[in-house]
Chain A
Amino acid sequence: MRSVNTEIALTHILTRKRQTIVASLGVSIGIAIYICLNTLIIGTNRYSDNAIFKTTPHIRVYKEDDISKPLSKDTSGKKGTIVIVNPKIANISKNLINPSKLLHDIKNQPDVTAAAPMVTANIFYNNGKSQLTGVGWGLNIIEGDAMFDIQSTMVVGDLRTLLNTPNGIIIGVGIADKLNIKLNDNISVISSVGVIKLMKVVGFFKSSNAVTDKSKSYMNLATAQQLLEEGPNYVTDIYVKIKDPEAAVQYATVLGKLTGYSTEDWKAANELFVAGKKIRAVMFLFISWAILLVAAFGIYNILNMTVSQKLNDIAILKANGFSGKDVVSIFVMEAMVMGIIGTLIGFLLSSIIVTLLSRIYIGADIGYFPIQFEFSVSMTGVGVGLLVTFFAGYIPARKASKVDPVAIFRK
């Protein structure tokens, strides 16, 4: 059976449709903007994280440069000699010792999904008289693909060719352009230690960064080791991929303890990017809540007005045995009806906006606008909308429940 409180609340709402609709639309707009902004931020973050993860591993394990220590002070007498030293980077190899054991240990960690040994070599690319500087990444291309999704950046050639081509190289399109190289051409590569190698170009890649495209290349691990005149046990970095990139900071410490080497998580490697992301998040949070509060204030306002116009009704209801709780429930129900209508419309509105945005084509690198329907955000939006309207209604409703009927009847 429909309760009499509900009946009264609905009658109040139906006799003031216009105000109800205005208040509801306020909530709709608030919720729609709230959901859209938060969906947008998730979409763009996902896109830019992905872009980052195409060049940066979640965690990098490497050997930190050692700084030569100043000589210790003479502590035998009070007037010890003070030695002034100029600290320099110690000339020690960056090789990780026993990389296959390290790799095995790391891969055995529960949350590690991939780990790959790496050698980076500073090199020059030569074709005829033209020369370019750059960095060669020596790695197992299949492992590298698992980590950086290299395949998605390939424009010409196939990754797998590199596996069967010991002196193969995959170069950025920028290098190919500048040196005028076509697929299967040979280029000569000179390393920083003076080793020269003739290499066969088996593919081009195109990342979202033009500088990278003009300098970076992928080659087999052994090739990079040879360029540096090192043996097969020479590994400068181990790149690690974990299940949840957000946990990289904590996990980097764990891996640091495990291996005894330095570790760097992707956030530390991209501090500026992470800071920008944080600022964006705070800004969007602030804007979306401000709009939501404005919407809530609309409901508060209308209900407050209703209460002051309905003092007589409230007094009559109380005289006829309605308790303060009944009065609260009547007015909260009115707020909730507006809130529910408003929130649902807002939800639909946001879904439409998100769908339209996701169909906007931006450009070659990004492709379509990086936004998609986020179920959890929408549900949070709906929940927040209902919560906010509840409180916006509860405050005037409480005021209504405190009305003294005798004071009203005397007027």
Chain B
Amino acid sequence: MEKKIVLRTKGVGKYFYDPVKFKVLDDISFEAYRGEFLTLVGKSGSGKSTLLYILSTMDTEYEGELFIDEEKITGQNLNKLAAIRNKNIGFVFQFHYLLPEFSCLKNVMVPALKLGKFSHEEVEHQAYERLEMLGIKDQALKPASKLSGGQQQRVAIARALINNPKIIMCDEPTGNLDSKNTQIVFDIFKQITKEFNQTIIAVTHDNDFAKASDRTIELADGKIISHGLDKTKS
């Protein structure tokens, strides 16, 4: 089967100016394929999160170019970018970010309600399914602020999955999880890439997690030092 590129960067670079000018990312060019489970590793401070923010379309101040589905993202206006994020990209951040006043269920539903493709009842049903997948269906009606760190992280993952986005980006998605739940998340990621042909780009410090993924890109000092081998080919 031929591999289709879903996300591509061309010579992406970024500077920070505060306190002194320095280049966090330098000439980053890589591709991510449809259905690929891609991990991003590197030492702390190597620029992984910074790169992920650019890939997520939220950070627009960079040089080089970004393409999603062969559509050029660089230079698009903010409203268009918001719509692209809503439809095509799901996020799980380094620190679990939920809306504290809403129930877990509502948190998961929000991106789908925004998309407006399905009725309220249908969205609710889908949200329950995602929560069940992640083993936190029983917490659905609790306010998000009353959950443990690991539970919140799983709600955030459920939310990232709700719109069936083409790409799911994660910044240390298992940082707060025990080995059992890490395994659950890992299996879900495997499942959605293989069964639903969605793409995962996950930053991780967990070597086992990286090793078990399809491919691992390694960053050091803002440069790609290894594009990794596609383990699915062997």
Do residues A322 and B114 form an inter-chain contact, with CB atoms below 8 A? yes
| B91: chain A residues within 8 A (beta carbon) | 319-320
Given A312-B97, A409-B97, decide whether A319 and B113 contact each other with a Cβ distance below 8 A.
no
Most buried by A among B93, B110, B120, B159: B110
Do residues B53 and A406 form an inter-chain contact, with CB atoms below 8 A? yes
Specify the chain B residue showing the minimal Cβ separation from A324: B78
Specify the chain B residue showing the minimal Cβ separation from A325: B79
Q: In the complex, what's the smallest C-beta–C-beta distance from A408 to chain B, in angstroms?
A: 9
> B59 on the interface (CB 8 Å rule)?
yes
Do residues A321 and B97 form an inter-chain contact, with CB atoms below 8 A? no
Q: In the complex, what's the smallest C-beta–C-beta distance from B131 to chain A, in angstroms?
A: 17
When chains A and B are docked, how far (Å) is the Cα of A312 from the Cα of B97?
8
A275-328, CB < 8 A from B = 312-313, 315-326
> B217 on the interface (CB 8 Å rule)?
no
A1-26 vs B, CB cutoff 8 Å, 1 = contact: the mask equals 10110011001100100000000000
B56-102, CB < 8 A from A = 56, 58-59, 78-79, 82-87, 91, 93-95, 97-102
When chains A and B are docked, how far (Å) is the Cα of A91 from the Cα of B91?
100
> B115 on the interface (CB 8 Å rule)?
yes
When chains A and B are docked, how far (Å) is the Cα of A1 from the Cα of B86?
19
Do residues A4 and B110 form an inter-chain contact, with CB atoms below 8 A? yes
> A157 on the interface (CB 8 Å rule)?
no
> B111 on the interface (CB 8 Å rule)?
yes
Do residues B114 and A319 form an inter-chain contact, with CB atoms below 8 A? no
When chains A and B are docked, how far (Å) is the Cα of A1 from the Cα of B94?
34
Q: How many A-B residue pairs have CB under 8 A?
A: 71
Do residues B53 and A323 form an inter-chain contact, with CB atoms below 8 A? no
Given A1-B120, A405-B58, decide whether A316 and B99 contact each other with a Cβ distance below 8 A.
yes
| A321: chain B residues within 8 A (beta carbon) | 82-87, 111, 114-115
| From B82, B93, B114, B120, contact of A409 by CB (8 A) | B93
| A406: chain B residues within 8 A (beta carbon) | 53, 58-59
| From B49, B53, B99, B119, contact of A313 by CB (8 A) | B99
Task: Bin the interface of chain B by size.
Answer: 20 to 34
| B120: chain A residues within 8 A (beta carbon) | 1
When chains A and B are docked, how far (Å) is the Cα of A406 from the Cα of B102?
22
Q: In the complex, what's the smallest C-beta–C-beta distance from A311 to chain B, in angstroms?
A: 11
When chains A and B are docked, how far (Å) is the Cα of A1 from the Cα of B17?
46
Q: In the complex, what's the smallest C-beta–C-beta distance from A324 to chain B, in angstroms?
A: 6
Q: In the complex, what's the smallest C-beta–C-beta distance from B85 to chain A, in angstroms?
A: 4
Q: In the complex, what's the smallest C-beta–C-beta distance from A237 to chain B, in angstroms?
A: 72
| From B78, B114, B119, contact of A320 by CB (8 A) | B114
| B102: chain A residues within 8 A (beta carbon) | 11
Specify the chain A residue showing the minimal Cβ separation from B169: A319
Do residues A323 and B58 form an inter-chain contact, with CB atoms below 8 A? no
Most buried by B among A8, A11, A319, A323: A319
Specify the chain B residue showing the minimal Cβ separation from A11: B101
Q: In the complex, what's the smallest C-beta–C-beta distance from B112 to chain A, in angstroms?
A: 9
| A15: chain B residues within 8 A (beta carbon) | 101
Given A325-B79, A409-B53, A409-B93, decide whether A320 and B111 contact each other with a Cβ distance below 8 A.
yes
When chains A and B are docked, how far (Å) is the Cα of A3 from the Cα of B114?
8
When chains A and B are docked, how far (Å) is the Cα of A3 from the Cα of B116?
9
When chains A and B are docked, how far (Å) is the Cα of A30 from the Cα of B91?
45
| A7: chain B residues within 8 A (beta carbon) | 106, 113
When chains A and B are docked, how far (Å) is the Cα of A406 from the Cα of B56?
10
| B159: chain A residues within 8 A (beta carbon) | 320
Do residues B58 and A319 form an inter-chain contact, with CB atoms below 8 A? yes
| B49: chain A residues within 8 A (beta carbon) | 410
| From B56, B79, B95, contact of A323 by CB (8 A) | B79
Do residues B87 and A315 form an inter-chain contact, with CB atoms below 8 A? no
When chains A and B are docked, how far (Å) is the Cα of A325 from the Cα of B159?
22
Specify the chain A residue showing the minimal Cβ separation from B111: A320
| From A1, A4, A319, A324, contact of B56 by CB (8 A) | A319
| A1: chain B residues within 8 A (beta carbon) | 119-120
Q: In the complex, what's the smallest C-beta–C-beta distance from B58 to chain A, in angstroms?
A: 5
Specify the chain A residue showing the minimal Cβ separation from B112: A4
Given A406-B58, A406-B59, A409-B93, decide whether A320 and B110 contact each other with a Cβ distance below 8 A.
yes
Specify the chain A residue showing the minimal Cβ separation from B79: A323
Specify the chain B residue showing the minimal Cβ separation from A14: B101
B102-131, CB < 8 A from A = 102, 106, 110-111, 113-116, 119-120
| A326: chain B residues within 8 A (beta carbon) | 82, 114
B167-189 vs A, CB cutoff 8 Å, 1 = contact: the mask equals 00000000000000000000000
Apart from A11-B102, A405-B58, 19 more pairs, CB < 8 Å: A3-B113, A4-B113, A4-B114, A4-B116, A7-B106, A8-B99, A8-B110, A315-B97, A318-B58, A320-B110, A320-B114, A320-B159, A321-B83, A321-B115, A325-B79, A406-B59, A409-B95, A409-B97, A410-B49
What would 24 A/B residue contacts be, using CB atoms closer than 8 Å? Answer: A4-B110, A4-B113, A4-B114, A4-B116, A8-B110, A312-B97, A316-B99, A318-B82, A320-B86, A320-B110, A320-B159, A321-B83, A321-B84, A321-B86, A321-B111, A321-B115, A322-B86, A323-B82, A324-B78, A324-B79, A405-B58, A406-B58, A409-B94, A409-B95
Measured CB to CB, the residues of A under 8 A from B are 1, 3-4, 7-8, 11-12, 15, 312-313, 315-326, 405-406, 409-410
